[in-house]
Amino acid sequence: MLIVVSRRFRAPLILLAVFLALLPFLYQFRSLTPGGDAFIRRPPVPIAPTSLPPDPDFPDDYLVDSPESPWCQERFGRRYLEDARNFSASYCTEESASRFTCFSSVTAAEDPPRVDNMCYGHRAVFDAGLRRFRLACDLRTLTPEEIASGVPIVPDDLSQYWYETGPRAVMGEAVLLDGSARVQGSQRTTILVKREGSGNVWHALMEVMSLTWSLDVLQISIDTQTGEPFVSPKAAETTQVVLLDPHNDGAFMDLWKLFAKMPVRRIHELNASEPVSDIIIPFSGGSNTLWQGDWVDLLCRDSALVKTFVSRVLAHYDVATPARDGKEVIVTYIQRTNTRKLIDEAGHMEALRKQVPHMKLNVVDFALLSFRQQLKVVRETDLLVGVHGAGLTHLMFLPPGSAVIEILPEGFQHKGFRNLAQMLGIGFFRAHTKMHGDDSGDNQWQFNAVEIDQQKLVSLVGHGKLRLYQRLRRLYPSISPVASYLIIGTGQESTSQLAVEPNAEQGEVVAEWDLNNGHGSLKPCDQASVIMRCVCESVITLGLLYGGHVFYFWGGLNTCVAMAFYSNLEMPSLLSIKGLLASLTAIGGPASSQNCKAYPGSEGWPSTETWNRLNSTLGGQLLSPAPPAAVCHQGQLTYDAEKCIKLGIDWSSFEYHASNPVSVMWEQFTNDTCLPDPQFPCTSSGYPPFVVNSTTPEHVQTAINFARENNVRLVVKSTGHDDIGRSIAPGALSIWTHHMNKIVYHAGEFKLAGSGKLIAGNAVTVGGGTQMYDIYAATAEHGQTIVGGGGKSVGISGYLTGGGHSILASRYGLAADNVLEMEIVTPGGDVITINEDQHADLFWAMRGGGGSTFGVITSVTLKTYPSPKIAFTMWFATTAVDSPVAFDVVAYVVSQFPDLMDKGVSGYQYLVSTSPNPNPGEGEPNEVAGVMGGFMMQDAEDGAALEKLLKPLNDTIQERWPRTVRVLQQTALYGSFLDWFNVNFDQGVAGLNLHRASRLVDREALTGDPHALAKAYKSAADAGGAVTAYMVAGKGVRDAKPRGGGNAVNPAWRRAYIQSLTGVPFPPFNKTAENNALKALGDAFEPLRKLTPGMGSYINEVWMAPRERLANDILGQSLSAAAQDQERGRSRGHTVVLPMRRK
């Protein structure tokens, strides 16, 4: 039956049409549960050209930072030192004989922000009577600007910490600013230290580490009066540490000589004959950034500061990692003799020795050893085990690939050791245990003994051992039962009580025992399988038979680590990762590293100074933005719980992602590295670390030249709509054209550059980053419109370089067919204007040859057309979901599209296998299948002409399927194209993991075998719930006359009438689900491919298939022909872009 819908149904139908447009792409969006104490944050800002002076360099032993979030870099990377250097103030008047300079750091999570300080005094004389160093310094008055910026007032505002430590305490006890003092040139340097104590290794290392960082700041800071660094390495021989506290020496006294080579002294040992000295008041241990946030997961995966300190300590004590044969795991258990002792410790140790094979267990009381002896024990350790306490600080010195197990009192959620292990790439496991109170019944975690089930400790050590196998830290001739398991899944089985969470940067597993609500499991590996996908539903595990063994590549987001499992086979020798990858390359694996681009942390990555020079050249247009979802993650620079809630709403909108410099519409192209959900990890590793905010062609030119000259990967982002991920890449320099959005209208004619040829008709020139709605709105002011897309925020450049289909294309051709001229920047860095008369080959290629291929568009001129009056009919033909005729109806309806389109009809239709009933009535099903969408006719004064064309369609349906198929129809009129667009624009959702597949369908397929057509469309619709039948080609595209005689648009468009597209979503961190989605798309579209031989796909919406299938899918021709065209590059063949996932 035919139902002409009354007005009261019109709004619901429009909403339903919107829903149908989204149907293939919707799934349950994750809830956001931000919470916890917020850190003090600063928003991402452009790098100031003068923020990082190029000289002096970091000390030679400093390690290079790896890609990390800005928050992590500011606390644990070189940026911590640079920020302290740049936040300094001098306090003495110019007339003073001495100088006093303080450096500050603002990293602590306090409100108002806490400012940590260190200070340097030039020329101080020791007053033996007062036991103080006198500086001939008259304090100047700080300016209001300095005070407003947080510069501390000396000494009152200097920081002070527990145990009366910190710069204010040191100043109060050992330094006087006395303008009357008489001083001469300094002969040595004195470091003034007040310790918290002498027996706790954590406290001691925090203090010494903070001192080394203080000295590093001074080595990279220029003294404006001398033009030299405040401190140089040669000063070490004349530098002494003077202790102000009364504590005994302790085991760590020699650590104070990491830099100061003179003997450590006490202040009471100094006398009146002390020479004039420069003095250093270092950052206190209480200011160390490792203290900050130790109750939350910081999610920082690296630290140049900590790693450099570790290497210095090991070198200072001349402790190396001994070579061993790898046939035994050495487990070191830290024995506690006073507080937090393990109940039945001896019984537990005996059980470990008996039940864990291939293990040597050492029980060590570190308090009985010198610090050098402690380091030697730790460097020989594979697995460090202990109850929570300072002894676990030793994990800092474990060899690479090792692991640590922390046993915590129940309810105690300290994360400090976990965070430290994460930064160092050390595997981390923890178990919460019962506490036993004292006789009064009090439970005090600082003092009370802890109890853990013996078998659970055995299993926990077994899991720690397994981690060593996974990292190839230890290999055996045969795998023991404990090692024959692979940690997988996060299912609800609770037999092992092991909860696992992914470490996204390192490709490791952090495991935690949960004695009350375990939800992980151990399952045997299938040692015969070649392909295996498991591990936490988040990490790809690819099993490969190699040399008689099964190797599993545990691929994290940025690293690839191999683990070997083999069935009682003898492993002749340790097979290096490098050697294995080299062998794989020889059989078709990854490309040679010689062809790789530089990556953050690699040897070829540009230095900070180089990036700053680029920023200066760009006039401050270089950005280093945080991941947009970092606002939802504690530990990130931009964390903000309120903004996270708002982001949960904005995340699904195209406009939000379009306006962000690094965000893209589909999460999988960031490798899920930072999602707006605090339960997942967040890092910047999936995003470009630097973005050029381009507003001029010269900005683009500078970026391209920089990337080429420095071997840096380059990507271009306008709005991030790209369905195949070309607008984002980790470790890349991104050109963001979003603000290149100038619009100029040309009335009557347009003159080509170069030849001066006049092209009659109206035109519009728009910047390369202009969004579709802005062009529609600007041309509407002149009664015009363009051939454009259906989404408001779609960027013009990526759209038309793929061809650009449109609901107006069936009349005027594709967007690429309507280009008159372009200004582009070539890969060689040339800014050129291309049209039919100059650079004609590039002009041909840029129109349809694929985005980010032949050049970056900085502006484009498009032909405009009079904005038509529009009649638009919402039209649904539906039946029951389980009706056997549902797709017979679909096949019949789409078979009529070619004739309708030849008569001027276009539209957006959706072929659904299941959908909510748009107009349910008594006895009607709640869900239906069929055709839903809308038909458009241009230049319509009323709806009569369109309804007349649709009448035969309606009548035939009623004749063939009476009382089975329901047709709903309503027509609306719009005064202009913009009026229509304002109601019917694409209101789909973004911000999810989604793969798509599409196919161009010709008249032969649509009007040929109806049974094959019904079968093909049912298969395609079943994959995602619906498949499109966009009426966006036909006569207008077939007969289009692009300027210059042609363009690079896929020739299949010239034969096509409709474009069919669907999508399949999948959850994040689930490679199995993603592979299943890709396979489902491939299988679902196979019947449609067979039905359309020689056709292809829209290059902007292709299936992410294997390379050979992708080329066929785009072009409908053999890979060999496609490869030849790609090799020709600019030739008049079919240009092919083969996008790849960037891991």
Residues 307-356 have pLDDT tens digits of: 999 999 999 999 987 776 656 889 999 998 888 888 999 999 999 999 88
Is a pLDDT exceeding 80 seen at residue 588? Answer: no
pLDDT in tens, 606-617: 999 999 999 999
Burial class (CB in 10 A: 0-12, 13-18, 19+), 737: buried
Strands 763-767 and 784-785, bridge-based pairing: unpaired
In whole angstroms, how large is the CA radius of gyration of the chain?
A: 34
Q: Are 940 and 1051 in contact (CB under 8 A)?
A: no
Q: Which of 245-254, 546-555, 772-781, 1063-1072 has the lowest mean pLDDT?
A: 546-555
Which is more confidently placed, 1114 or 262?
A: 262
Cis peptide before 606 (omega within 30 of 0): no
Q: Do residues 861 and 819 lie in contact, with contact meaning Cβ atoms separated by under 8 Å?
A: yes
Using DSSP's 3-state secondary structure scheme, residue 1124 falls into: helix
DSSP state of 278: E
Task: Tell me which residue of 208, 465, 249 sits closest to 357, measured CA to CA.
Answer: 465
Reading the block at residue 1071, the tokens are: 């490679």
Whether the pLDDT of residue 19 is over 50: the answer is no
The mean pLDDT of 788-795, rounded to a whole number, is 94
Lowest mean pLDDT among 473-487, 499-513, 878-892: 499-513
Q: Where are the domains of the chain?
A: 70-287, 304-524
Give the pLDDT confidence score for residue 186 in this predicted structure. Answer: 83
Q: What's the rounded Cα separation, in Å, for the pair 378 and 362? A: 11
* Mean local confidence (pLDDT), 573-589: 32
Distance from C-alpha of 621 to C-alpha of 148, rounded to nearest angstrom: 27
Interhelix angle 304-316/201-219, rounded to 10 degrees, is 110
In angstroms, the Cα distances linking 162 to 245, 365, 618 are: 13, 27, 46
Residue 829 banded pLDDT, cuts 50, 70, 90: very high
Count of C-beta atoms within a 10 Å radius of residue 1107: 13
Indicate if the pLDDT at residue 515 is higher than 50.
Answer: no
- Structure-token pair, residue 29: 């969006």
Reported as half-sphere exposure (CB side, CA atoms, 13 A), residue 29 has a value of 18
Question: What gap in Å lies between CA 620 and CA 614, rounded to an integer?
Answer: 9
Considering the chain, what percentage of its residues have pLDDT values greater than 70?
Answer: 78
Q: Kindly state the average pLDDT of the residues 246-251.
A: 92
* Mean pLDDT value across residues 523-547: 26
pLDDT at 401: 79
Q: In which band, very low, low, confident or very high, does the pLDDT at 1090 lie, cut at 50, 70 and 90?
A: very high
Mean pLDDT within 146-151: 88
Hey, what are 814's tokens? 């594709």
Burial of 196 (0-12, 13-18, 19+ CB in 10 A): buried
| Sheet arrangement for strand 870-880 | 2-4, 966-974, 870-880, 927-938, 905-916, 1026-1031, 1056-1065, 994-1002
Kind of pairing between the strands at 359-364 and 175-177: unpaired
Above 60 in pLDDT, residue 12?
A: no
Taking a C-beta distance cutoff of 8 angstroms, is the pair 971, 960 a contact? no
Residue 429 reports pLDDT greater than 90: no
Q: How many CB atoms lie within 10 A of CB 63?
A: 19
What is the C-alpha to C-alpha distance for residues 472 and 453, in angstroms, rounded to an integer? Answer: 29
Report residue 767: phi and psi, to 5°.
-65, 155
Phi, psi values for residue 266, rounded to 5°:
-100, 155
Of 676, 672, 626, the C-alpha closest to 34 is: 676
Confidence of residue 10 (pLDDT cuts 50, 70, 90): very low
End-to-end Cα, the chain, rounded Å: 53
Between these two residues, 470 and 68, which has the higher pLDDT value?
Answer: 68
Give the model's pLDDT for residue 652: 86
Position with higher pLDDT, 522 vs 809? 809
| Rounded Cα–Cα distance for residues 667 and 673 (Å) | 9
Q: How far apart are CA 558 and CA 1056, in angstroms?
A: 41
Residue 1109: the pLDDT is 52
Closest Cα to residue 1085, out of 1119, 1052, 1114?
Answer: 1114
Q: What is the pLDDT of residue 679?
A: 79
Q: Which helix (H) or strand (E) holds 467?
A: helix 454-470
The angle at the Cα of 53, spanning 49 to 59, to the nearest 5 degrees, equals 140
> Is the model's pLDDT at 69 over the cut of 90?
no
Residue ranges in 904-1039 assigned as alpha helix (H): 944-960, 977-984, 1003-1007, 1010-1024, 1035-1038
**For tokens 């001739």, what's the residue?**
477
Q: Report the pLDDT value the prediction gives residue 413, as an integer from 0 to 100.
A: 81
Average pLDDT, the chain: 80
Helix, strand, or coil here: 560?
A: strand
Q: Verify cis geometry, omega within 30 degrees of 0, for the bond prior to 155.
A: yes
- CB of 123 closer than 8 Å to CB of 283: no
Which parts of 220-278 fold into alpha helices (H)?
A: none
Residue 593 reports pLDDT greater than 70: no
CATH number of 304-524: 3.40.50.2300
Tell me if 897 sits within 8 A of 1057, measured CB to CB.
yes
Is the Cβ–Cβ distance between 843 and 722 less than 8 Å?
Answer: no
> What percentage of the chain exceeds 90 in pLDDT?
56
Residues 6+ apart with CB under 8 A from 966: 1, 3, 876, 877, 878, 879, 924, 928
